[in-house]
Amino acid sequence: MSNSRTPYKEFADMFHISVNSIHKRIKSLVDLKIIQGFKARLGFANFGNITNIVMFGIPNVKNKKELMDELGRNENVYNITRASGNMFYIYAYLHKISELDYLVSYIRKTGDINELKIGIDRNSPVFSQDYYKPLNSTDYLIIDSLKNNSRKNISDIANELQVSTKTISRRLENLIEYNLVQCYIDWYPDNSGQILSMIILKLKSELIKNDTEFINSFKKRYGSKVIFTWSFSNLPNIKLINIWTDTMRELQEIESSLLSDEIYESVEITVLLYGKMYPIWIEKLLDEKVREINNQS
């Protein structure tokens, strides 16, 4: 769900089922704590270039649960997922690429991770400054109103801010259109009954394909089993593929088919055990701006 304010009717039309069925399915996901919140924060277009960093490695720390929260204290880290074999996957958004050295140093030292892989996401969000439209006070307050419930009704936001519904509707439409607000779900698929895994593929250097061609081919082969994919500008022969399967046998079959493919130098699969989202500098920036607006009023 790329926009957590998407009307249920759009999903109903997309999947050719009733609005009531969509509502029941989403409620079920909430009850199962697979969806733990509908959130909003400042959109990436407010910052020009943001770099998405994906790190993975095995920490040499006894208490893995405590370590997750320790790593999550870094203001750039937005998600940490622990997997089988004690593998950690750590995701971070950097406002400036110059912050990378400090981030990596913090992760390595805190987690005592000697062999930490650092990937610079090839598909990090990039927005031209010509695209940027400065936010006004009402925009910041709208986003703040939505931050813990991005599906809040226009009328409720209007009542809360003492602004007309017409103004709220117009400003919110503008924020969404220009990626100035990011409405997303706090998603914990590890709470589902399915098996979620991460595949680390290392392609043979001489057989590296065009990235788009490779991903499209992989998705065509494994279909809806593929949830997310990552490719890295600094690690051109490494691909991360997040997949789901109903059974371990099905996962083993996927592993066997990948191992038989000659384009891979290595195939490593870890089963995802537990994931957690963390607030980052983007949320902090919004809080500071809203505090400033409130102090002026």
The 10s digit of each residue's pLDDT in 147-162 is 999 999 999 999 999 9
Burial of 130 from C-beta contacts in 10 A (0-12 / 13-18 / 19+):
exposed
Q: Is residue 112 part of a domain?
A: no
Mean of the per-residue pLDDT values of the chain: 90
pLDDT tens column, 204-242: 987 777 788 888 899 999 988 998 899 999 999 999 999
pLDDT tens column, 98-135: 999 999 999 999 999 999 999 999 987 777 666 667 89
Q: What domain range includes position 5?
A: 1-31
Give me the pLDDT at residue 280, please.
Answer: 95
Give me the pLDDT at residue 130, please.
Answer: 65
Q: Is residue 212 part of a domain?
A: yes
Q: CA-based Rg of the chain, rounded to a whole angstrom?
A: 21
Q: Is residue 255 part of a domain?
A: yes
Q: Report how far Cα 249 is from the mean position of its chain's Cα atoms.
A: 28
CATH at residue 244: 3.30.70.920
Q: Is residue 97 part of a domain?
A: no
Q: Provide the pLDDT confidence category of residue 6 given band limits of 50, 70 and 90.
A: confident
State the Cα–Cα distance between residues 53 and 104, nearest whole angstrom: 10
Reply yes or no on whether the pLDDT at 1 is more than 60. no
- What does residue 247 show for φ and ψ, rounded to 5 degrees? -140, 160
Q: Is residue 228 part of a domain?
A: yes
Burial of 128 from C-beta contacts in 10 A (0-12 / 13-18 / 19+):
exposed
Rounded to an integer, the average pLDDT of 85-89 is 97
% of the chain at pLDDT higher than 90: 66
State the Cα–Cα distance between residues 103 and 269, nearest whole angstrom: 26
Q: Is residue 261 part of a domain?
A: yes
Spatial neighbors of 274 by CB under 8 A, at least 6 apart, are 68, 81, 82, 190
Helix 137-146 and helix 281-296: axis angle, to 10°?
120
Give me the pLDDT at residue 100, please.
Answer: 97
The number of folded domains in the chain is 2
Q: Is residue 226 part of a domain?
A: yes
State the Cα–Cα distance between residues 74 and 106, nearest whole angstrom: 8
Lowest mean pLDDT among 13-27, 174-188, 191-205: 13-27
State the Cα–Cα distance between residues 8 and 20, nearest whole angstrom: 9
Give me the pLDDT at residue 131, please.
Answer: 63
